[in-house]
């Protein structure tokens, strides 16, 4: 786990700024619902609503495969794998994505946890009638609900793809030196933000909304945070935004971005490297059939260094690890790689698909 005097000293200035601004920058109460909700929504048992978007083979009943896509940080249900339409039709894929709690048009969840995000996925799938098993794709911070689904209801997961997934630097089973080295590769502002999100979450809103220092280089899209390929992808996305306006923050930055950080870098209640067994998705020939879990990562990822993900894959031999040599954190926006991710996710057992640039 992350430790050491270097990291602690780096964070003192951020704590001071957050404490100074705390009286003026307390987290606001959850905002009222957006004035105009344009997306379909499902209501959960507790009353919260999740807004969603469907695409691919429609209606769902005509599809051969049903895939739930979980967006990452500062994103929304409009995040979609740019898979070729021909491949979608060939494989018969129905996709659905929803605004995770507090994002977009979905209601906030003030008591949100890693487990509650997983429970949202399961109940959402049941409300839509996805069936007893379904596939999951989680990108970046959208990967922690996938880990939690594998933990809490592995029998519902037909297959999963973790794409450029976060690693919580405080997982207890991570080698301390490796975690510290990876953590210290992050920009100083991101180190501060993650540390506050974990150890002083009541200060996070004050820190993230102050103007004395940069709260987060990643959120500000500082070029040092991204690989050359990432910067090209960001430029392309900015020219053709989908949707044209940012829908992620309709519930306010605290209920969307800040709470996502607190959950992602807080205590998960389990350690993926020690508390997960190989998931099984059902019965084939009277025996349990293993669920294929894929982990895709870019060698040039500057947010979550590749060494951490190689370690995760080595510790969990049932993970099918794929590495893109020239890719950064955003390679999922490249159609070639999205096609490969989908093909491998839906491949029949014993018939893995070739992956471009795979080690």
- What are the pLDDT digits (tens) for 34-75? 667 789 999 999 999 999 999 999 999 999 999 999 999 999
Total tally of structural domains belonging to the chain: 1
User: What pLDDT does 239 receive?
Assistant: 84
Cis before 358? omega within 30: no
Give how far Cα 269 sits from Cα of 264, 274, 314, Å.
11, 12, 22
**Does the structure show a pLDDT above 50 at 285?**
no
As a whole number, the mean pLDDT across the chain is: 89
187 with 3: CB under 8 angstroms? no
Residue among 352, 349, 292, 287 at smallest CA distance from 318 = 292
CB atoms within 10 A of CB 283: 9
User: What pLDDT does 354 receive?
Assistant: 53
Q: What is the DSSP annotation of 101-162?
A: TTSTTSPP-TT--HHHHHHHHHHHHHHHT--S-EEEEEEGGGGHHHHHHHHH-GGGEEEEEE
User: What pLDDT does 103 receive?
Assistant: 96
User: What pLDDT does 289 receive?
Assistant: 62
Cα–Cα dist 14/172, whole Å: 24
In a domain? residue 261: yes
In a domain? residue 27: no
Whose tokens are 């594998």? That residue is 150
Cα–Cα dist 149/160, whole Å: 10
Beta partners for 137?
69, 161
**Does the structure show a pLDDT above 70 at 336?**
yes
pTM for the model stands at 0.91
Per-residue pLDDT tens digits for 203-255: 999 899 988 889 999 999 999 999 999 999 999 998 877 775 678 999 999 99
Beta strands 41-43 and 65-70, pairing class:
unpaired
In a domain? residue 135: yes
User: What pLDDT does 234 receive?
Assistant: 94
Q: Which domain holds residue 177?
A: 41-276+288-346
User: What pLDDT does 349 receive?
Assistant: 58
160 with 150: CB under 8 angstroms? yes
230 with 328: CB under 8 angstroms? yes
143 with 165: CB under 8 angstroms? yes
Indicate the SS3 state at residue 49.
strand
In a domain? residue 178: yes
CA geometry: angle at 118 spanning 47 and 96, to 5°?
80
User: What pLDDT does 130 receive?
Assistant: 98
Give how far Cα 159 sits from Cα of 17, 149, 348, Å.
44, 11, 11
In a domain? residue 9: no
In a domain? residue 11: no
| Lowest-pLDDT range of 18-27, 110-119, 268-277, 334-343 | 18-27
User: What pLDDT does 208 receive?
Assistant: 94
CB atoms within 10 A of CB 61: 8
In a domain? residue 198: yes
CATH of residue 310's domain is: 3.40.50.1820
Structure confidence at residue 286 as a pLDDT band (50, 70, 90): very low
In a domain? residue 29: no
**Does the structure show a pLDDT above 50 at 359?**
no
User: What pLDDT does 22 receive?
Assistant: 56
Cα–Cα dist 62/54, whole Å: 13
């Amino acid at each position: 786990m992350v430790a050491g005097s270097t990291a602690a000293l780096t964070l003192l200035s951020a704590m001071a700024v957050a404490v100074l601004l705390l009286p003026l920058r307390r987290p606001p109460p959850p905002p009222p619902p957006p004035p105009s909700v344009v997306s379909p929504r499902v209501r959960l048992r507790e009353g919260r609503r999740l807004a969603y978007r469907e695409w691919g083979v429609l209606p769902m009943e005509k599809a051969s495969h049903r895939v739930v896509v979980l967006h990452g940080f500062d994103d929304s249900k409009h995040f979609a794998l740019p898979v070729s339409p021909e491949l979608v039709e060939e494989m018969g894929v129905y996709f659905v994505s929803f605004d995770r709690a507090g994002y977009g048009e979905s209601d906030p969840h003030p008591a949100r946890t890693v487990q509650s995000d997983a429970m949202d996925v399961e109940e959402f799938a049941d409300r839509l009638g996805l069936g007893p098993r379904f596939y999951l794709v989680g990108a970046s911070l959208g990967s922690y609900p996938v880990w939690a689904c594998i933990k809490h209801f592995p029998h519902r997961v037909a297959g999963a793809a973790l794409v450029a997934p976060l690693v919580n630097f405080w997982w207890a089973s991570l080698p301390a030196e490796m975690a510290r080295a990876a953590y210290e590769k992050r920009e100083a502002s991101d180190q501060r933000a993650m540390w506050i999100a974990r150890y002083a979450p009541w200060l996070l809103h004050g820190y993230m909304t102050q103007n004395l220092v940069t709260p987060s280089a990643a959120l500000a899209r500082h070029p040092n945070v991204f690989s050359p390929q990432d910067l090209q992808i960001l430029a392309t996305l900015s020219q053709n935004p989908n949707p044209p306006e940012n829908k992620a923050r309709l519930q306010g930055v605290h209920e969307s971005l800040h709470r996502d950080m607190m959950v992602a870098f807080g205590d998960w209640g389990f350690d993926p490297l020690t508390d997960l067994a190989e998931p099984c998705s059902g019965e084939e020939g009277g025996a349990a059939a293993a669920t294929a879990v894929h982990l895709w990562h870019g060698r040039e990822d500057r947010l979550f260094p590749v060494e951490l993900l190689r370690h995760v894959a080595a510790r969990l031999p049932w993970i099918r690890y794929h590495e893109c040599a020239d890719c950064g954190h955003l390679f999922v926006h490249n159609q070639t790689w999205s096609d490969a991710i989908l093909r491998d996710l839906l491949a029949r057992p014993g018939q893995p698909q070739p992956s471009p640039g795979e080690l």
